[in-house]
A and B are shown apart, each in its own frame.
Chain A
Amino acid sequence: MSYQNRKMIIKNEDETKKFGIALADEIKAGDVIALSGELGTGKTALTKYIAEALGVKEEVTSPTFTIVKEYTSGKLPLYHFDVYRISGEEEMFELGACEYFYGNGVCIVEWADKIAGLLPVGSTVIRIVYGENEHERIYEISRMD
């Protein structure tokens, strides 16, 4: 992906959407996108825009209580994880998460740093931090190795 190892300044939610669309354009089956960042930095918001661009018809809502939600109406199956409530890698492994990560869909994982050791080599890692202004976010993008 052309976004690798770079820092982007996202000025507002509109740019988050643009970023999501561009990212969705390059997504292939088997890709894993690992999101991390404080509460409210827009992990779910970004996921929504990616899902929309993938053609997902259903409304994407935060899977905090279910850990994972599956969306199959888009051009690729999308598995949206929120692992905030997971105690760590062991618990996540026991839930069978690796079967998703190494499967044929697209996985987007919120709070991915909690389970970093389970993410496949080559996952796209996006660390989101608050910018100077209210709607500004900094995206630090790298590749898991």
Chain B
Amino acid sequence: MYILAFETTGEHASVACIDKKGNLVEQTSEQIFNHLQSLMPMTERLMKENGITMSDISCVAASAGPGSFTGIRIGVSSARAIAQAVNIPCISVPALWSFSYHIENFTGLVCPILDARRNEIYGGVFYLDRNSGEIREVVPGGAYGMHEYLQLLHAEITGEAFSEIMFFGDGIKLYQDEIVQWQGSSLNDNIRLEFAEADKRGQKASSVAKLALKLYNEGKQVDYEQFMPIYMRKPEAERKLEEGQR
């Protein structure tokens, strides 16, 4: 039994297969935003090289977003198409949560921030309890202004005595200075703040696969027809209301 997992919501497409025990194989495209061309050939190669056939796949997962609009659609559509063709279920993997698995043995707060444009990020704060394997959504995934996000993060840090924070995602590029400034002015010295290394910053199919396995074990499979993108855009009405309040 394997779960096939796609990650196409970021710059580089990747694909992974994970078995019941959590053994993983993965391939990542070097090309930037070339998902449509690279995803299927890469998947074929990965399966061939590891002696995995279609009949070994019992479920197909994809990162459902937020992230690149076209990327999300490619990942979700590909997963849906395969699931329909070979009659297996899908698993919808929330992209922000998947960052919890990026760094093995990291026990701090996981802070993915993705550039949502118009001075906003898609972000959330997660905590993976290494003992229970459960993930806690400390700050709910959503669209935030960076300032608002840092305030929410701050409340959690002071409330619960977390001592390690790591940022992920393409939002780092834009907001690193603001975060460092915030650290200087608002955080105690005993709190360690890091930015994930360049090759660990982006979305990864291996993390999507790990979360997919967890969701699979919880019985969160869905029919391909029910598998929908998660763009996470704020509805227009809410956006207008906020702009009016400013």
Contacts and interface: CB of A to CB of B under 8 A. Distances in A.
Contact of A96 (B70, B118, B119, B240): B70
A120 B70 CA distance: 17
B117 A99 contact: no
Contacts of B233: 90, 93
Interface string B205-244: 0000000000000000000000000010101100110000
B182 interface: no
In this complex, which of B69, B73, B240 has the most chain A Cβ atoms within 10 angstroms of its Cβ? B69
A117 B117 contact: no
Interface residues of A, number: 11
A117 B240 contact: yes
A89 B117 CA distance: 15
A93 B233 CA distance: 9
Contacts of B70: 96, 99
Interface string B50-90: 00000000000000000001100100000000000000000
A120 B119 CA distance: 10
Given A90-B236, A93-B233, A117-B239, A99 B118 contact: no
Nearest to A89: B236
The 4 closest A-B pairs by CB, nearest first: A89-B236, A117-B239, A99-B70, A88-B236
B69 A117 contact: no
Nearest to A118: B118
Secondary structure dominating the interface of A? helix
Contact of A120 (B73, B117, B239): B117
A99 B72 CA distance: 12
Contact of B236 (A102, A117, A120, A121): A117
A113 to B, nearest CB: 12
Contacts of B239: 89, 117
Nearest to B231: A93
Interface in A80-138: 88-90, 93, 96, 98-99, 102, 117, 120-121
A90 B117 contact: no
A96 B235 contact: no
Interface residues of B, number: 12
Interface of B: 69-70, 73, 117-119, 231, 233, 235-236, 239-240
B223 to A, nearest CB: 22
Contacts of A120: 117-118
A90 B235 CA distance: 7
Nearest to A92: B236
Contact of B69 (A88, A96, A121): A96
Nearest to B73: A96
Interface in A25-72: none
A126 to B, nearest CB: 20
Nearest to A115: B236
B118 A121 contact: yes
B231 A121 contact: no
Contacts of B235: 90
Given A120-B117, A120-B118, A121-B119, A99 B236 contact: no
Contacts of B69: 93, 96, 98-99
Contacts of A96: 69-70, 73
A102 B117 contact: yes
A97 to B, nearest CB: 9
Nearest to B70: A99
A102 B69 CA distance: 11
20 contacts: A88-B236, A89-B236, A89-B239, A90-B235, A90-B236, A93-B69, A93-B231, A96-B69, A96-B70, A96-B73, A98-B69, A98-B117, A99-B69, A99-B70, A102-B117, A117-B236, A117-B240, A120-B117, A121-B117, A121-B118
